[in-house]
A = this chain, B = another copy of it.
Amino acid sequence: MKRLILVFLVAGLLLATAARTHAQVDDPLPSWNDGQAKKRITGFVKTVTTENSPDFVPEAGRIAVFDNDGTLWPEQPMYFQLAFALDRVKALAPEHPEWKSTQPFKAALEGDLKTLFAGGEHALLELVMATHAGNTTEEFSQIVQDWLATAKHPETGRLFTAMVYQPMLELLAYLRANGFKTYIVSGGGIEFMRPWTEDIYGIPPEQVIGSSIKTEFEIRDGTPVLVRLPEINFIDDKAGKPVGINQHIGRRPIAAFGNSDGDLQMLQWTCLKRENSFCVYVHHTDAEREWAYDRDSHIGKLDKGLDEARSNGWTVVDMKQDWKQVYPQTSQ
Q: Using CB atoms and an 8 Å cutoff, list the residues of chain A in contact with chain B.
A: 1-2, 4-5, 8-9, 11-13, 15-16, 18-19, 60, 137, 181, 190-191, 194, 198, 204-206, 208, 212, 215-217, 219, 222-224, 226, 233, 239-240, 242-243, 246-251, 265, 268-269, 272-273
A251 touches B15 (CB 8 A): no
What residue of chain B has the Cβ atom nearest to residue A195's Cβ? B250
A32 to chain B, nearest CB (A): 28
Please measure, in the bound complex, the distance between the C-alpha atom of A12 and the C-alpha atom of B226, giving whole angstroms: 48
Please measure, in the bound complex, the distance between the C-alpha atom of A205 and the C-alpha atom of B61, giving whole angstroms: 11
B15 touches A5 (CB 8 A): yes
Given the known interface contacts A16-B9, A217-B265, A217-B269, the answer about A194 and B243 at a Cβ–Cβ threshold of 8 Å is: no
Contacts of A2 in B (CB 8 A): 19
Other A-B pairs beyond A217-B269, A222-B273, 13, CB < 8 Å: A8-B9, A9-B16, A60-B198, A191-B250, A205-B249, A206-B249, A206-B250, A217-B240, A217-B243, A219-B268, A224-B273, A226-B246, A248-B248
Contacts of A248 in B (CB 8 A): 206, 248
Given the known interface contacts A5-B12, A205-B250, the answer about A216 and B239 at a Cβ–Cβ threshold of 8 Å is: yes
A12 touches B19 (CB 8 A): no
B272 touches A222 (CB 8 A): yes
Interface of A is mostly: helix
Please measure, in the bound complex, the distance between the C-alpha atom of A33 and the C-alpha atom of B233, giving whole angstroms: 45
What residue of chain B has the Cβ atom nearest to residue A18's Cβ? B1
Q: Name 6 interchain pairs, CB-CB below 8 A, sorted by A.
A: A5-B19, A8-B8, A9-B9, A208-B250, A223-B272, A223-B273
Given the known interface contacts A216-B243, A219-B272, the answer about A205 and B12 at a Cβ–Cβ threshold of 8 Å is: no
What residue of chain B has the Cβ atom nearest to residue A60's Cβ? B204
Contacts of A249 in B (CB 8 A): 205-206
Please measure, in the bound complex, the distance between the C-alpha atom of A249 and the C-alpha atom of B191, giving whole angstroms: 11
A206 touches B251 (CB 8 A): yes
What residue of chain B has the Cβ atom nearest to residue A233's Cβ? B247
Contacts of A223 in B (CB 8 A): 272-273
A10 to chain B, nearest CB (A): 8
A226 touches B208 (CB 8 A): no
A149 to chain B, nearest CB (A): 20
A250 to chain B, nearest CB (A): 3
B242 touches A272 (CB 8 A): no
Partner of A226, one of B190, B242, B273: B242
Please measure, in the bound complex, the distance between the C-alpha atom of A19 and the C-alpha atom of B3, giving whole angstroms: 12
A251 touches B205 (CB 8 A): yes
B4 touches A15 (CB 8 A): yes
* Max chain B Cβ within 10 angstroms of own Cβ: one of A224, A242, A246: A224
Given the known interface contacts A239-B216, A272-B222, the answer about A246 and B137 at a Cβ–Cβ threshold of 8 Å is: yes
